[in-house]
Structure 1
């Protein structure tokens, strides 16, 4: 692997992958929305070339990038992951269109492999839609991910581009600023704020950011065409187990409030995933335990607070 393109390159996962690959001597064309975008997460590295392009102009990449020997196109950019656009069908249908445009751009640039950032939410959506209960608006995001995944694969297959979907479970660690579970819980515990959870018996999995980007690297390097790869620790367990490890890393005396909220929502059976596909096909194995990753994240958040 010598050259890659990464959309959403200034995001949490995208920036970490950009920094990791560039440090390995790989040329990274880092796609960032515009000159006003925050690129503070990106290292100053001669192997990183920032390309300013919104997703609505992604088909112009062949004008912005003269190279025609790109090895991998990583597609992370997505509007409405954790903000109000998550339930906006205009934004979500645009995401589908832009994903297809990214595949077309890959073809124009002579790219050999396309990797789509898939999500557990797609599988939760399948289960939600199989039941008779009313469907919440958040399924617009999940439905768009499913459509983009299938359409991108179809286009890649017909353009003779290798296609892989990387199923993101829960990635956490240094650099994350979103209000997702791990980040928000650690912040609350550090601030001595009350936390409340369900009985937390549902199965979960987490993977530290450094391990996650290595998984993406190995998938790009050795992944099998048309395969979906599970990105997690490969050791899922009840959420309450993870929460108790997290709590003990912050303060063993803290009361988490497990069971104070009614249990609702979809529970996935992780037996549906091939947890070891990345290891079997590429040789990658996670190295950072949940406890170690949480301690690293806690120290980073403490420094941010100071």
Structure 2
């Protein structure tokens, strides 16, 4: 009998694919859930893995999974874990306006109720640092220091609302809720979407890229290390807790790109970031390490050095 079962909503996404592979390596039977057809996304070796099954919900109606689950050749245990990595904003993750962003809250609510019906004991939601940024402003920790709130207000508000609503629904449904958040996950292929990934890929090829105009700090972390942390939090984390996942080495965008360019061009210049203490505290992974005895090993400087040694 399979004794560890994981449902992964958003398994077709950039983080979702990596998490599925990590969970399989940890001997989970993984049921991936996504809007895309099965044949379009998954590599053959994963589709053929006896510990993986993919369910397409192209119509967006997630509750049909409960009926489909009756046909699984496994017994779904009350120790199962549900992961929600799904988020959509139309043309981009952060786009679509407030109305489009808030559609994700409905999907999240439905998935919690589904997790309960499936007999899952825990619901793990992957958020972002944007909701934490919003928290700091609401509590006026940063408002008094005249820090500018990052753009993506609709995205930040929707993510924070989703997190808080999830807590309430999980309380009503009597299912453990754990929230995870991160800054940016990268991999050796640099095939993620968005400005940072595209700029790093351009630098690696010696191509031009749009220079940054933001002073916001980012903590770039290897995606496989991030997904290992998520899997550990799922089994060892505390109910109703929020865990930051990252290397805890924040840089501004111009520093990130300069570091990468220096390694690309074999320039020996040590760029040291000097963030204020509140930023250092913001990106601390102490709670993650305290509970799991694990934290990501490579910061972005180390990643860059290894990347150009390939």
TM-score (norm 1): 0.81
Aligned length: 288
Unaligned runs of 5+ in 2: 268-277
| Structure-2 change in CA distance of 1:143 and 1:82 (3 Å) | farther
Shift of the 41–299 alpha-carbon distance from structure 1 to 2, 3 Å rule, reads farther
Would you say the 8 A contact 1:249–1:291 is kept in 2? Answer: no
In structure 2, the residue matched to 1:17 is 19
Structure 1 unaligned runs (5+)? Answer: 254-267, 301-306
Q: Structure 1 stretch 228-237 or stretch 205-214: which is displaced more?
A: 228-237
* TM-fit CA distance, 1:124: 3.1
Shift of 1:62: 1.3
Which of residues 57, 64, 81 in structure 2 aligns to 1:72?
81
Residue 58 of structure 1 aligns with which residue? 62
When the two chains are superposed, the root-mean-square deviation of aligned CA atoms in Å is 3.3
| 1:303 paired residue number | none
Distance 1:5 1:68 in 2: 10
Q: Which residues in structure 2 correspond to 1:230-245 (within 5 Å)?
A: 230-245=244-259
Deviates more, 1:289-298 or 1:114-123: 289-298
- Once the two structures are superposed, residues 45-93 of structure 1 have per-residue CA deviations (whole angstroms, 9 ceiling, x without a partner) of 1111011124731122211113431521110111118718713333212
TM-score (normalizing by structure 2)? 0.80
Distance 2:254 2:99 in 1: 36
Distance in 2 (alpha carbons) for counterparts of 1:221 and 1:91: 32
Structure 2 residue aligned with 1:40: 42
Aligned pair in 2 of structure 1 residues 238, 190: CA closer, same or farther (>3 Å)? closer
Partner of 2:166: 152
In structure 2, the residue matched to 1:49 is 53
TM-aligned CA distance change 1:148 to 1:175, over 3 Å:
farther
Structure 1 residues 142-291: aligned runs within 5 Å: 142-174=156-188, 177-198=191-212, 202-252=216-266, 269-272=279-282, 274-291=284-301
Sort the Cα spacing of 1:28 and 1:200 in 2 relative to 1 into closer, same or farther, 3 A.
same
Give how far 1:135 is off: 8.9
